Structure 1
Amino acid sequence: MKHLHLLTVIFLFTACQHRPIHIVSEKYVDSLLQQTVIPVAYKQNAEEIKFWQQKIDPKNPGMVAELKYASSLATRFNLTGDINDIKRSDSILHTINRTFKDKEAAPYLGLIRHAILQHKFLLADSFLQQAQRIGIKPYESSTTSFDVDFELGRFYEAEQELKKITSNDYGYFFRFSKLAHYRSDVDTAISSMQKALETAGTNLFLKQAALSNLADLYLHNGQLEKAYAYYKESIQLSSADLHSIMGIAWIALVHDKNTFLAEKLLAHVQIKTKSPEPIYKLMYVAQAKGDSIKEMQYAKEFVLKVSDSVYGNMYNKYLIEIFTGVLNEPAKAEAIAKNELLNRSTSQTYAWYVWALFKNNRYSEAYNVFQNHVSGKPLEGLELYWMGKVMKGLNKGYNAEQFFKEANKNKYDLSPVIIQDLEKNLDH
């Protein structure tokens, strides 16, 4: 009997070892979704919009009220995902420029931020040059130049601008974290974002931005318990942080394989926002469930929505992923990838082009672009996986294996089906 009892204990211990540990709590999700109180951020924003809109006198156009009103509309975009708020805000800023005959830098600084949000990076650069000609403070010049240079792939220039910042403040640490992440130095990226959080003070927006970015970095690094904790901490500050709610949904999907919870969270976000992002993620929930009809439905819905001209180039990467995957229309992916290179030429965007060319059976051209613009450059998880598939398709087994190994370090950035394929390729 003693031997039997020992065997039972060993069996139970072994079973526990192989049982997947779920990170996302169903009880937490239920409590989150049952909240009926409107977050303070929404109320405050609505009050600000109303207040500053009433302060504007069409007969005597000015700048202060107009700038505040434009800023409050941009804040509402961050809360609700309505792209029309950014368009309206842009229109107000251009009106200020006309009123003051392009002699004020402040409207241009707002236009730069909006252009980056909308992935109009060359336009952001032209706005920056105009603002600098008018005259802006050194700190504003360095931080804004960093933002533009970074997005355009001018990483050396971005680093030099960062070196000009003498104050160790939130803006410095946040940007240093982004630069470290680009270089694949995730530990430095995390520690820098921690410092940004410490310097955020009582500013709710800055604290949530640091917390959610910390969570994203931990997710990227495979430390999902920490990612979950930071997402929850940000949501506790305000449930208006829909990005963090979607982050928890992604952990439930890719790690816990709990499509039920992931779907519940994403459906909740979909009601709260006009952003197309939850539709995109619901497509992968359907894919994980093996529901090809729903998967196709979400893919087409997403493409239809983001193909509206108001979105411009904002979702090009997602479109390339869908057109080379679910919808299997690689010619469209190639056209989008080629167009994106006119917007910004980075190792990432060139990798998109390589993948699209490969999927369109243009193998020699794909390899040529890879050698000239991608090989040896930093890439994210999805691009690493794509390059692994390209190398495998070109019978370059060693190169493929190296890319798959690197992609596996960031595997939780990938969809469940891609993770399965990645693991299968690593096993061979």
Structure 2
Amino acid sequence: MKKIITLLLVAVLFGCQEKPKNITDSKDYDPYLITNNTPSKDLIQEEFEYWQKEFDNDSTHLMEMSRLSGIHAAMFASSGDITELKTSEKLIKKSHDVSARNKDSYLRSLAHNYVSQHRFKEAQVLLDSAYTYPDNHKDTEMMLFDVAMEMGEYSRADTLLGKIKDPKDFNYLIRLAKWSDHNGNLDAAIKYMEQAKQIAEERDNKGLKVWVYSNIGDFYGHAGRLQDSYNSYLKTLAIEPDNHYVKKQLAWMVYSSERNTKEANRILDSVMVNHKAPDYYLLKGQIAAYEGNTSEANKEYDMFIKATENPDYGGMYNAYLIDLYADLEPQKALKLAAKEITNRATPETYQLLAYSQLKAGDKEAALKTIEEYVEGKTSEPKALFHSALIYKANGMKDKVASLKEELMGAAYELGPVKSKEIERL
């Protein structure tokens, strides 16, 4: 996280009398909120109907199975329906079983599916197996890097990054950006993302441009460059008008930066018509909590919890649930945090365990967890915020003061509710 306090963020935190100028304008994105404007979804549906018909004629054909597995994965991305991802998983497994060639390709496809499900250990096993085949090592190495980062295996990730090094390659640059961000060098991360953006634009590749515009929009937001972030999100929507992820990010911007809760909810409501994912309820709950509407916040949180009880989600929402349960049911949060750490032992998962320990009344254990597994190992704002709360509970005023200064620059990322808590540190 970049240690910078913009005038806008200072004004947000300390109630400067002059209201910050809004960055967003509903006229810019209203055309994309029309709920029946779903070109991506419609195209996927057309492709699905064609290949499903071919598959129905002969369910043993490998090409049909392969195409359908990809289409179901795309349908999951478009609709948020977890059953689509599980269907894709079944088809990939069957394709792998009947295929006599390209086994490594199917192993990577299945690993990608497992990553989407947050089944990182299983994905790593598949990728290690794929690496034993003689071909396509670079493709496997890139995915192994991704999984290593998710699992907190940073030494292995560094080695893998060295293996795929190519400063002119889009896939290398976006991973180098992720590595730089992990190491707290946000300026370098943005630089590499901008280089990747240039490659995507030179190729005029729609898929790459959508990916890089949306992701660099996030990086700009982390750096406090909200105008650049907003412009990048609009570029994404110009290419893919039904991009639900970017619309959610716009809702966050309207809420966190401009405190316009009504508009943020309007954006979210439009997204939720066509995309069904539990985390929308969580954001709407945060907005209600900021408004002081406790009953509405609890209602939204309950809907989030109920939605994530679907066993198909597995551990996909564990991090969100731990954060929520820490306040509501600390013992439940502790059990879930321990389970999540076995899945991926990162500083980010350990800080959730520490926060749960604090909320369960064991401030000493929380401090030990922070000092051993979190301190100096991440610059992620939520981890720093929870660390500050734990330091405060243990009477470590100097460390709290140091983190408070840094957290002031992360008000946009943490949101209005936590911004108020930062003031009270």
- Pair in the same fold by TM > 0.5: yes
| Equivalent position of 1:26 in the other structure | 26
Deviation at 1:301, TM superposition (A): 0.5
Give the share of equivalent positions with the same residue, in percent: 25
CA drift at 1:195? 1.7
Could you tell me how far apart the structure 2 residues matched to 1:62 and 1:419 are? 56
RMSD: 1.9
> Aligned runs of 1:195-210 on 2, under 5 Å?
195-200=195-200, 201-210=203-212
How far did 1:194 drift? 1.4
Q: How does 1:66-145 map to 2 (within 5 A)?
A: 66-100=65-99, 104-145=103-144
CA distance in 2, matches of 1:100, 1:45: 25
User: Tell me, what secondary structure is at the counterpart of 1:375?
Assistant: coil
Deviating beyond 6 angstroms after TM superposition, the runs of 4 or more aligned structure 1 residues are none
Deviations 1:36-80 (A, max 9, x none): 663332222112222222333675623222112111111111111
Aligned counterpart, 1:9? none
1:408 corresponds to 2:396: no
Partner of 2:64: 65
Distance, in Å, in 1 between the alignment partners of 2:352 and 2:218 is 22
Find the counterpart in structure 1 of residue 310 from structure 2.
308
Choose which of 284, 287, 290 in structure 1 pairs with 2:286. 284
Deviations 1:289-344 (A, max 9, x none): 1111110000010011112211111111111221123xx21111111111101101
Could you state the TM-score of these two structures normalised by the residue count of structure 2? 0.91
Deviation per CA, 1:9-57: give whole Å up to 9, x if none. xxxxxxx981321122133344443x36633322221122222223336
Indicate if the aligned counterparts of 1:103 and 1:134 stay in contact, CA closer than 8 A. Answer: no
Distance (whole Å) between structure 1 residues aligned to residue 74 and residue 161 of structure 2: 26
Rg comparison, structure with higher value:
1
Q: Which position in structure 2 is the counterpart of 1:226? A: 228
CA–CA distance in structure 2, aligned partners of residues 68 and 29 of structure 1: 33
Counterpart of 1:352? 352
- Which residue of the partner structure matches residue 183 of structure 2? 183
Output the CA distance in 2 between the equivalents of 1:315 and 1:400: 29
Structure with bigger RCO (C-alpha 8 Å, 6+ apart): 2
Q: Structure 1-normalised TM-score?
A: 0.90
- The amino acid of 1:324's aligned partner reads A
SS class of match (1:191):
helix
Deviates more, 1:397-406 or 1:413-422: 397-406
Deviates more, 1:67-76 or 1:93-102: 93-102
Give 1:152 shift: 1.0
Number of matched pairs = 407
Q: Aligned equivalents of 1:203 and 1:55: distance in 2? A: 29
Distance in structure 2 (CA, Å) of the matches to 1:187 and 1:272: 36
Unaligned runs of at least 5 residues, structure 1: 1-15
* Counterpart Cα distance in 1 of 2:406 and 2:192: 23
- 1:88 and 1:311 map into 2 onto residues whose CA distance is 13
Q: Which amino acid aligns with 1:284?
A: Q
Structure 2 residues without counterparts, runs of 5 or longer: 1-15
- Displacement after TM superposition at 1:416 (Å): 1.1
Matched, 1:54 2:53: yes
Q: Which piece of structure 1 moves more, 84-93 or 237-246?
A: 237-246
CA contact (8 A) 2:35 2:271 kept: no
- Name which of structure 1's ranges 386-395 and 73-82 shifts more when overlaid on structure 2: 73-82
Is the alpha carbon distance of 1:52 and 1:202 closer, same or farther for their aligned partners in structure 2, counting shifts above 3 Å? farther
Deviation of the 1:246 alpha carbon? 0.9
* Alignment partners' CA distance in 2, 1:288 and 1:413: 15
Match of 2:337 in 1: 337
Distance 1:87 1:212 in 2: 26
Contact 1:330 1:360 in 2 (8 A): yes
2:216 partner SS:
helix
